[in-house]
Structure formats: structure tokens, C-alpha cells
Amino acid sequence: MRDALTPEDAIRLFGMANQLVETDLDRVERELNVDLGRAKPSRGGNESHDFQFSRELREEAAAMARHYEMFYCLENSIRALVRSALNASAHGGAWWNACVSETIRNEVKLRIQRETDSGVTLRSDDPLDYTTFGELGEIIKSNWDVFGALLNSQKAVASIMTRLNQLRGPIAHCSELVEDEIDRLNLTVRDWFRQMEAQSREE
């Protein structure tokens, strides 16, 4: 018997599904050269610098911002799932040392140290926030006794996380995603949703 979706998880899934719809509408507007009246009000703060960049570059940035927003929501919702599930496991609050491989823990230590040495404000005091999609996949895989009740297939999850890790690169490094990669991103996110649906499929 699997646990039903929590209200928080349901809200996260709804939000990400909405982002997929918005992405599809962006494509319709772009391909048909129409304006569906969906322009968001300005968030302020950067208008005075807009004139310094070409219209083409600003349009590319606006399109890529949607993909970054999707990745931000997805990556942090997966981390929340990992954190919640392992906190609720037999290891409780000691799960980081008990459930995460030494290799990943050492990589995270190096990343934290690099941020500390650079003098910037640390992004988080939670080591899980320093893991990559690939590492999150490894954590899920090595603790399948916990996640098997929440997700459909271990192999599918590993494949999804690998694809997400590959797709993250262009977005994180301010490169434009080509059409095929946008399609791949949307399909991969939908694949993840199908894994998450396992939580509510059986009660």
C-alpha cells in the first residue's frame, strides 16, 4: 500500500504542470507569431539596463527564464522528496551520513569549501542543496527500500535523473536550448510526474 500525495506535494505537482502548459503556450506564440496576451507585468529593477541589450538577446533570455524556473521548481521538489523520505526512515535525522555514499558526501564537502574560500554567502546550510541531479539519482537508487514505495521504477528514475543532469548544463551556463532539447526537457519532466503518480495510485 502506498501513501497518498501530501497536500504540499500535490501543490508542487500542480505548479510544475502549470509550467509545462506555459512552455507549450510560449511555443505556440513563437511558432505562429501571435500574442496570446500572456505577457507578465515587469518585476522591476532591470528596466534601465534593457536598452543595452539587443531585442533578440532579451527575447532569448525571456524564453530561457521559463526553463530555468522549471528546473528550479523540479530540482528543489526532488530534494524535498529525498529529504522528507529519508528523514522519515529508520535513520531519522542521521540519514545524511547513513544513507549517502562517502563519495557524494566528499564531493559536497569540496563544493561547500569552494564557496567558503570564495568569500560568497553560502547558498545553504543543508548539504543536500549542494548535490547534482546525478547525485540525487544515486541517493534514491541506493535507498530504494525507502523510495520504492514512492516511485514506480528504479531504472526509470535513474534514466530521468541522468537526462535532467545533462539538460541542466545549457540552462545553468546561459546557453540557449534548441527546440529538440526543449522537447526532451518537457518529456523528461512529464516522465518524472509519472513516477510521482505512484504515490497516489494505490492506497
For residue 17, the model assigns a pLDDT of 65
pLDDT average, residue stretch 156-181? 80
Q: For residue 198, is pLDDT > 70?
A: no
pLDDT average, residue stretch 40-47? 50
Give dist(CA 129, CA 175) in Å, integer.
23
pLDDT average, residue stretch 34-41? 60
DSSP secondary structure, 13-61, as one string: HHHHHHHHHHHHHHHHHHHHT---S-PPPP-SSSGGGGGGS-HHHHHHH
Mean pLDDT of the chain, nearest integer: 80
Q: How confident is the model at residue 203 (pLDDT cuts 50, 70, 90)?
A: very low
Q: Which residue has the higher pLDDT, 191 or 86?
A: 86
CA dihedral 40, 75, 159, 200 (to 10 degrees): -90
For residue 163, the model assigns a pLDDT of 86
Give dist(CA 112, CA 33) in Å, integer.
45
Q: Which residue has the higher pLDDT, 188 or 21?
A: 188
For residue 88, the model assigns a pLDDT of 93
DSSP letter, residue 75: H
For residue 81, the model assigns a pLDDT of 92
For residue 149, the model assigns a pLDDT of 86
